[in-house]
Amino acid sequence: MPQRKRIKIDSTQAADVQYQSKFAQLVGLIGARKTYIEAGRGSAKTTEILVERLVDLIYDMPGAPALWISDTFTNLTSNVLPSVLEGLGRKGFREGTHFVIEKAPPTFTDKEKEKLPEWLKARFWKPVNHIVSYKRTIVFFTGFNLTFGSLDRPSTLAGRSYVFLFGDEGKYLRPEQVANALKAVRGYSLEFGSSPFYRGQCFTSDIADPSRAGEYDWMRKAGADMDPDAILLVVKAGLVYNEAMAEAVACKDEWLRSRDPADLDTYKRKLKVAERWRRRYETTRRQQGADTLYMKVSSYVNADILTPDWFDDAFASGLPDTKSAILSLRQGIESGDRFYSSLGQQHFYFDGVDEAEYDKLSMRDRPDCRILRYLNVDAPLRLGVDFGNMCSMCCAQLGREGGREVMRILKFIYTLAPEYIEDLGRKFRTFFAPMKTKVIYLYYDRAGNSYKKVGKDQVSSLKRAIELDEGGKRTGWSVHLMSLHQGDLRQSEEYHFMQIFMSGANPRLPLLRIDAYQAKNLKLSLELARTAVRSGIVYKNKSSEKLPIADLPARSTNPSDSFKYLLMTPEYRKIVKGAGGSSGSGNFDIVSAPR
């Protein structure tokens, strides 16, 4: 039996050489219409799973509209879009050449398109759907167009039809909102009904922990329709097709080098064989049970890129979520193990976006405080701040809810080294620039007062960074330091204090409400914080603060410390200890109901 020809990767002229993990290759080979992947951190879910599927659709359904959803607009602009553009760049796509963002695509005459492949001519930069507004939309050269929407603004998803749905960080997407988005995946059956991806979806995430507020274990349930035997048949047929196509490409390379008619005939024969197997492969993909793929994998699928040191550091951290975040093991944290054991779903709200303000933003705009539904621009702000290699800031206002005082945490802001206090002040000023009342009550750790007599203390630096711009000009903000002469806030006291405060049982204390989207990292920090018991005293386990700096916002207790300074004011501490005190601080910063 003659040996099969192999592609010479270093010299091929007939193929575009790209590299992927074996897992990403397997997901691409299966090509299920509905794909749900739960994978460990660092496994390149967005760039190698979602973007690879996006590239499939760009060529398989030219002119078609698709939708990509995210939990928040901030996450969409800060994380999703940059990852999508990075993934497209790795695959050779360039803005202005292969796609345009939030603007009408270029137009070409029939004469200018005459040398294009026949399959591309009709749809070259021409979507099938009529696009009224290009806001939050990317149009590709095949006419395929991708619209981005966020679930904190559900009305942006209404009124249009799409042929495919994408989503990253699926565990943060509420099942009923995903179901609502899927209602828009409809229509265009005459144009695209023959595609194996028609009316499909592709979601990725790391493992959900339903015991945490705002995490949903719907992807595993959605993948229950998968038939492993049908998927295995797809893999077998796909591997044969892939091998046949590889041999055809190798024969084409040989003909391109020799220009021998005999080599051309060989290439054509091999191509016919590959085409027969392509049809068989596509038939297996359409069989019942083969249109759904659910896989759960660990971060080790990308071990060649992450390196052993990355895993060593992750396991050495001793974090409670290591098994789920790295190994994708499903686990729940018992409430008694949590430092903030009284934290629950009732403390978070998911409707904090002002939709009218949101509508004014494009994908590359940075939102400011005008998008906050519950913000009163005429009232003061309360800030809780923690300093360090990660500087954390909780931004809150006092208000009322059903006749009861409420502490509403509207926004969480942070910096990571080499950024420091000046950068934290600038980020705050930029986001809250539209405020009319520019008064701040600032709460912080007593260490922030160190060296205050010589003006080198951290809190004075933050006060200057907020009250003065980079040129030394006054910004109009007035910062009142509320933690002068404050003693230690011991963790043992914090544990007891938070149980009482979060219970909501004491009418002299405000209710707690946290924006689950705008203060997402604070939410994660509070949920992950664990107890450490020494000599019968409960402390907060702070080992996560030794993680690599990039992991601190979402995986450490750092954000929870700024939360502690915000809530543990002298007056609230007296109420918890039973020593009296009035509700609030003379009501000097009570705000009205939401706009």
Residue 2's pLDDT is 58
What's the CATH class of domain 338-577? alpha beta
Residue 585's pLDDT is 42
Amino acid at residue number 204: T
Residue 155's pLDDT is 63
CA–CA distance, 393 with 429 (Å, rounded to integer): 12
Task: Name the phi and psi angles at 396, rounded to 5.
Answer: -140, 165
Residue 319's pLDDT is 65
Residue 536's pLDDT is 78
Residue 3's pLDDT is 66
CB 442 within 8 A of CB 385: yes
Residue 8 makes CB contacts below 8 A (sequence gap 6+) with 250, 253
CB 30 within 8 A of CB 235: yes
Per-residue pLDDT of the chain (595 residues), as tens digits, is: 456 778 887 788 878 878 888 999 999 999 999 999 999 988 889 989 999 999 999 999 999 999 999 988 778 888 888 999 999 999 999 999 999 999 999 999 999 999 999 999 999 999 999 998 898 899 999 999 999 988 877 666 667 899 999 999 999 898 988 998 999 998 899 999 999 999 999 999 988 877 776 788 899 888 888 999 999 999 999 999 999 999 999 999 989 999 999 989 999 999 999 999 999 999 999 988 899 999 999 999 888 888 888 888 777 766 667 777 788 877 654 444 889 989 998 999 988 988 788 778 887 888 899 999 999 999 999 999 999 999 999 999 999 988 899 999 999 999 999 999 999 999 999 999 999 999 999 999 876 555 444 446 899 999 999 999 999 999 999 999 998 877 678 877 899 999 999 999 999 999 999 999 899 999 999 988 988 888 878 888 888 888 889 889 988 999 999 999 999 999 999 999 884 444 444 444 434 333 3
Tell me the domain boundaries of the chain. Answer: 19-226+290-332, 227-288, 338-577
Q: Is 314 helix (H, G, I), strand (E, B) or coil?
A: helix
What topology does CATH give the domain 19-226+290-332?
Rossmann fold (3.40.50)
User: What residues are paired with 392 via a beta bridge?
Assistant: 386, 414
Residue 348 host element (H or E): strand 348-349
Residue 583's pLDDT is 42
Residue 486's pLDDT is 73
Residue 316's pLDDT is 77
Residue 324's pLDDT is 78
Six token digits for residue 413: 């802001």
CA–CA distance, 509 with 279 (Å, rounded to integer): 68
Six token digits for residue 201: 């979806």
CA–CA distance, 229 with 43 (Å, rounded to integer): 26
